Structures are given as structure tokens and as C-alpha cells.
Amino acid sequence: MKDLILILASQGFALGIGWAFVSLILARNDNRIGRLEMAALSYVIGMGCIGLSMMSFYLLRIPFSMMTFYCPLAGIALVCIFFYGASGRIAPAVGGTAPKPLSTIDVFFIAGIVFGIAYSFFSALIKPMESYDGVGAFAIKAKIFFLARGIPADYFSTIANNFPHPAYPYMVPLQEAFGFMSMGSFNDLLVKIVFPLHLAAFLVLFYCGIKAFTNRRSALMATFLLSSMYEFNRFAALGYTDTHFALYLVIGFLFWYRAIAQGKINAPLVVISGILGAFSYFTKDIGIIAPAAVFILALVYAFQTRSFKGGVWLLFLYGAAFVLAASPWLLTKASAGLTQPFITHKTFDVGVMAPLAVRRVVPVLYEFQTHVFNPKEWNLLWPVFFILFIINWRVLFTAGFRYISIFILVTLAAYGLFYLTVDTVIYGDYGAYAESLKAGMNRHLISVAPLALIWLAVLFKDMTHE
Amino acid sequence: MTNHAPAPVLIFNRKQWQYVLAAWVVMWIFFFCKDLLTKGYLNDYKELLARPTLEGKRSWVTGDRLYELIQLCRTVIPENATFGYDGIKDQSLSDWRTRYYLYPRLRSDDPDYLIVFGGTAGARPDRGGWRPYKSLDRERFILKKAP
């Protein structure tokens, strides 16, 4: 019970920290966000900031303790509240006309979403950390940091090499370490609460983000479909990084889209998008998709609006937020000489990679179709999405679809490029390559599925209009 | 000015898409119940709920026999010592779980202690330079490097 109270208090602390930061960012925002969305966003930002702060402590060689960690963060939060409160602006629920009463189908969708969240909590908290990567790649690092009361100064040169993926980003292990330290015990059952909490926040932000440019029914339907997908829900209980990554990538896109959807660029929402993009990069290396996609979207925006200045402003806002938020990880990688093994100099040796990439196309497509036609993992999503996406090729780059279509294509291209060019040293053996495809592709699809649902929500918004 | 953007193609009408949504819901419920019943998830949950303590649950996910051995290792192997295995496959899930629970003890190719879990090291007459240290049974024991 003591551990439960402490872990919940720690998550509440993260929410409070995040609330202060988000309030500061949105203090002069013209687009208000509702309290539920505010709470979800605050939790996500707060936990992300805590992860990055702990990385900063490693750089500054400061051990974690109540005095060195909780108090400074609380102090910074109070300063933010001072400025936010001083501005006199609050982010109340979205104004306008009163919402229509919920229909039977809306209630069904909400019940389905609540069930998905509840089951995620149940399946996460019924057993302690036990999955392969959950234990071997992430929780072990959290344990190391918990026992050492921080990231040891020699961690990257000594201890890290005893366990897999020492150069892998540390967002999730540090959030787990925060949980252990808050409880004061290595309770790898209760620390898993972080994962369903992030799933719940994801679904709330997903709903709110889609509703901002479609309608309530379309947003509820998309959110229900997401929460009811077996693979999406399953990974939220395993202790992997994929739920976190999907959250940062997808919600980051939604905030970016809302930032430009009204015509005038909403700078605070671009900043939030940039921060979430940085979080995605601090969760998985492939999070570099986020700034890469935003770069392309900004070019498209500049072209569409005939505003070069607008495009530059978008890139500057996003880039500044991304770099600032990601700086602890970028500096750590540089100082510790961390390089991930998947992309090396061989990747850019066209003579070596080109024939290998060509040979890999068939196994990649084969593995892909095993997921597309897997109703247990993804229900009907992929056949419905790809058929409609291809049939509607004429509208892909029209208003309403343009940015989400491009984001999906960039994400798919990034994953495709990764599968085709991943370093041959690791995957020179075809058998090992095929195994890694099998293990990895369904996890990568966890971040593509919500994007597909956003696209479908836009497609169906007129049909679902109440 | 006329908007020349083409209209999206939805293939089906509203009613037909409602049937697709209904099919989605049916499949969702079907696969959820199928896993609970045919994959034994329901039994797993019952067993886990019957073990209310953290150690009990850890024992369930690891395997009671292996976890009992790990618990013995935690009490008798010093935290600054290194260990190796006989009977636990390298890079297997049991390997990672054992390393996870035993940390800060680290696994080494030249270990101070050898954890035998159904392996054959103990059966060798000369024990390969190891001497018996602690034991649970004939298949689960710990050897210490002979001086």
C-alpha cells in the first residue's frame, strides 16, 4: 500500500510539473484547451521533463535525492505558475455552444475506450516486469539507476555494456527509475503503472486532437478503434517503449497540425509539438522521423500558403523547441561517444547496400502483409486503410488530407528505409534478419496505426457528422 | 471561385460502413474472449491473483524452480561477485531475468560462481575447477570457483 501511494504521488508530481510548464507555454495561447486534455498533456510533458532532467543530472554529475531532484523541479514549477498566474490567462474548457447529448453509439465508443484503458491497467499491474526487452533492455537500466541513485559517471563505459542496447535512448528506463526512487523500493510491479497511464493520456490527447479538426463522433470512433486494437493495447502492458514513442510522435503531429490549421501559426502549439518530437527521439532513435517529417511539412506549408516567412518561422519554433528539449540526450550521446549499431558507414556504401536492399524488398513486403491480414493484431484497420488510401490518391494532397497523408508517407518511408538498409553486420545472416523483422515490424506499426486512424477520421468526418 | 478538389471516395454508404464497424466490434470481442479462454489467459490471471505478493508474482513469471534458485543466489552470492550459468541458455528470457534479478552481481565469462540449473557441470568428477557452495536439490545448486 505504501508503494502504491508513493507511485501515485510521483505520477501526480509529474502531472503538477507538467501543468506548470504547459500553462507557461500556453499562457498567451488563443486556442484554449480543455481541462481533460490539459491534464493528459501535463502528465505526458511532466514525465518527459523528468526523464530529461534525470539525464541532465548525469551530465552535471548530480546524484538524485529529494533535495537535488524534487525540490528544484518543484521550484521551477512554482516559478512557471507565478508567471502563468501573473498573465491572468487560464485555459478553461473550449467555449462556444453546449455540446450535443451523447447518442447510444457515442456511449458505446466511450465505454469501449474506458474498457480498453481499464484492461491495460489490469494486464500491466497483474504481473511484474517480465517481457524480453521490458526486462533486458529497459527495466534493468532503471534498476541500475535506482540502486546507484542516478546514472553512474562510468555507466556508459562499464556497466552499460553488460546489457543490451547501451546506446538506446533512455526515456523509459529513466521514467521507471523515477518510479523506483519515488517508492524507495525496487517494486517492478507497481512501476508498470507508467505504461497504462501513458496509454490513457494518449487516448485522451488523440481524441481531443482529432476532435479539433473533425467532430466529436469521428474522434470518438477513431479513439475507440485505437483502444480496441489488440496489438496497441498489448504493448502498453509489456514495459516496452512503443506506446511512449507512438504517443510522442502522433500527438506531436496533432499539435503541429492544430498549430497551422487555423491559418495563423499558433506558436505555443508548435513549441509543444517540438517538445514532443524531442521526447520521441529520446525514446527511440527512429524518433528522428519527427523533425524530418516536420521539415517536409513546413516546406509544404510554405508552398501552399505562399509564405516563405511562415515556413521559416514554423521550422525555427519547432527546431528550437526540439533541440532545447533533446539537448540533454544529444550532449550525453556526444560526451559518451554513443552510437547505435543499426546505421553505420556501411549503410551509406551504395555498392554494398543497394543489392542487399533490393534482396530485402520481398521479405519486408512478406512480413508486412502478415500484419495487414492479421485481424487479431490489427482488426480490419490495414485492409480498410490501404484500400481507401490508394483509391483516394486524388485527395491525398488536398486540404484536410495533405499534412496527415504526407506524415504517414514519411513515416512509412522512414521505416521502409530502415528495414532495407539496416547494417549488414548485425543482419548479414538472413535468418537473423527475418527474425528481427518479425519482432520489430508489429511494434513499428503501433506508431503508424494511430496516424492511419487520423486519416480515416478526416475521411469519414462528413459521414459521422451529428 | 469553384473548389475543384475531388470528393473523397468512400466505396460504401453510411449503412454499409456501419456493418463494417459492427464486424470490427464482433472481431474485437471474439479475439479478446478467445485469448482469455483458449490461450489460458484466464487461468494465468487466476493464478496471479492467487499470489498477492510481489515475490509470488515474480516467481510465477520466472518459473518457481528458477526463481527459488535466484532467491538463493541473492542471499549467498556477494553483490560484488560475478556469476555464470550452466543450464540457462545465453540470451534467453531466463538469462535476462536472472541477470535482472541478480544485479548488481554481473554475469561474466570468467565468473566467481557458477549457477547450475539442470546443467551437467555438477556431474563432472573433477567439477572443472569448481567446488560445491550451496544447493537446493540435485539439479539446482551453486558452485564456487576453487582457489
Span A226-243, average pLDDT: 92
ipTM of the complex: 0.90
Per-residue pLDDT, A341: 65
Residue B113 and residue B81 share a domain:
yes
DSSP category for residue A134: I
Residue B116 and residue B72 share a domain:
yes
The reply to whether B58 falls in a domain is no
Residue B134 and residue B71 share a domain:
yes
DSSP category for residue A197: H
The reply to whether B84 falls in a domain is yes
Span A23-39, average pLDDT: 80
Is 80 exceeded by the pLDDT of residue A429? no
Residue B147: pLDDT band by 50, 70, 90 thresholds? confident
Between A202 and A400, the higher pLDDT residue: A202
> Of chain A residues 227-256, which have a CB less than 8 A from chain B?
228, 230
Per-residue pLDDT, A353: 76
Task: Identify whether the C-beta of residue A190 lies closer than 8 Å to the C-beta of residue A4.
Answer: yes
Per-residue pLDDT, B119: 66
Per-residue pLDDT, A464: 73
Hey, are the CB atoms on A388 and B9 less than 8 Å from each other?
Answer: yes
The reply to whether B32 falls in a domain is yes
Span A286-304, average pLDDT: 92
Span A24-34, average pLDDT: 74
Task: Identify whether the C-beta of residue B83 lies closer than 8 Å to the C-beta of residue B114.
Answer: yes
User: Would you give the distance in Å from CA A222 to the centre of its chain?
Assistant: 17
| Closest approach of B117 to chain A, Cα-based (Å) | 19
The reply to whether B51 falls in a domain is no
Residue B29 and residue B89 share a domain:
no
Between B79 and A420, the higher pLDDT residue: B79
Task: Identify whether the C-beta of residue A452 lies closer than 8 Å to the C-beta of residue A411.
Answer: no
Per-residue pLDDT, A74: 81
Phi-psi region of A337 (alpha: psi -120 to 50; beta: other; left: phi over 0): left
Per-residue pLDDT, A435: 73
Q: What is the per-residue pLDDT across A311-352, written as a single tens digit (0 to 9) for each?
A: 999 999 999 999 999 999 999 999 988 887 666 666 667 777
Collapse the DSSP code of B8 into the 3-class scheme (helix H, G, I; strand E, B; otherwise coil) and give the result: coil
Residue B80 and residue B116 share a domain:
yes
Is 70 exceeded by the pLDDT of residue B120? no
Hey, are the CB atoms on B96 and A228 less than 8 Å from each other?
Answer: no
Is 50 exceeded by the pLDDT of residue A86? no
Task: Identify whether the C-beta of residue B121 lies closer than 8 Å to the C-beta of residue B128.
Answer: yes
Query: Is A147 near chain B, with CB under 8 Å?
Result: yes
Residue A64: pLDDT band by 50, 70, 90 thresholds? confident
Question: How many other C-beta atoms are found inside a 10 Å radius of the C-beta of residue B16?
Answer: 11
Span B27-43, average pLDDT: 90
Phi-psi region of A328 (alpha: psi -120 to 50; beta: other; left: phi over 0): alpha
Is 90 exceeded by the pLDDT of residue A175? yes
Hey, are the CB atoms on B99 and A136 less than 8 Å from each other?
Answer: yes
Ranges A248-257, A456-465, B136-145, most confident: A248-257
Q: What is the per-residue pLDDT across B93-108, written as a single tens digit (0 to 9) for each?
A: 999 999 999 999 999 9
Distance, in Å, from the CA atom of A408 to the CA atom of A445, rounded to the nearest integer, reads: 11
Phi-psi region of B51 (alpha: psi -120 to 50; beta: other; left: phi over 0): beta
Hey, are the CB atoms on B48 and A127 less than 8 Å from each other?
Answer: yes
Per-residue pLDDT, B133: 92
Span B104-132, average pLDDT: 79
Span A378-391, average pLDDT: 94
The reply to whether B40 falls in a domain is yes
Q: Which helix (H) or strand (E) holds A101?
A: none
Residue A422: pLDDT band by 50, 70, 90 thresholds? confident
Per-residue pLDDT, A93: 45
Q: Which residues of A281-306 are buried (b: 16+ CB within 10 A; e: fewer)?
A: bbbbbbbebbbebbbebbeebbeeee
Burial class (CB in 10 A: 0-12, 13-18, 19+), B57: buried
Residue A227: pLDDT band by 50, 70, 90 thresholds? very high
Q: Which helix (H) or strand (E) holds A205?
A: helix A194-211
Angle between helices A171-183 and A2-26 (to 10 degrees): 130
Quickly list H helices, A264-395: 267-281, 289-305, 308-336, 350-372, 375-378, 381-391
Phi-psi region of B127 (alpha: psi -120 to 50; beta: other; left: phi over 0): left
Hey, are the CB atoms on A130 and B62 less than 8 Å from each other?
Answer: yes
Residue B134 and residue B69 share a domain:
yes
Query: Is A394 near chain B, with CB under 8 Å?
Result: yes
Nearest CB to B45; choose among A126, A376, A460: A126
Mean predicted lDDT score pLDDT of chain A: 88
Span B8-13, average pLDDT: 84
Per-residue pLDDT, A68: 80
Q: To 10 degrees, the CA torsion angle through A426, A169, A176, A144?
A: 70
Per-residue pLDDT, A77: 80
Span A162-176, average pLDDT: 92
Domain total of chain B: 2
Written as nine digits, the cell of A279 is 521526447
Give the residue numbers spanning the domain of B25.
Answer: 14-45
Distance, in Å, from the CA atom of A357 to the CA atom of A379, rounded to the nearest integer, reads: 30
DSSP category for residue B117: E
Per-residue pLDDT, A81: 75
Span A161-167, average pLDDT: 86
Residue A223: pLDDT band by 50, 70, 90 thresholds? very high
Is 80 exceeded by the pLDDT of residue A84? no
CA distances from A91 to A36, A121, A201, B16 (A): 11, 29, 18, 41
Is 90 exceeded by the pLDDT of residue A436? no
Collapse the DSSP code of A148 into the 3-class scheme (helix H, G, I; strand E, B; otherwise coil) and give the result: helix
Is 80 exceeded by the pLDDT of residue A233? yes
Beta pairing partners, B134: B142
Per-residue pLDDT, B125: 45
The reply to whether B77 falls in a domain is yes
Query: Is A388 near chain B, with CB under 8 Å?
Result: yes
Span A8-16, average pLDDT: 94
Residue among B33, B103, B107, B109 with most chain A CBs within 10 A, to mutate: B103
Task: Identify whether the C-beta of residue A316 lies closer than 8 Å to the C-beta of residue A323.
Answer: no
Between A298 and A360, the higher pLDDT residue: A298
Residue B2: pLDDT band by 50, 70, 90 thresholds? very low
* % of chain A at pLDDT higher than 70: 91
Per-residue pLDDT, A424: 54
Span A107-128, average pLDDT: 96
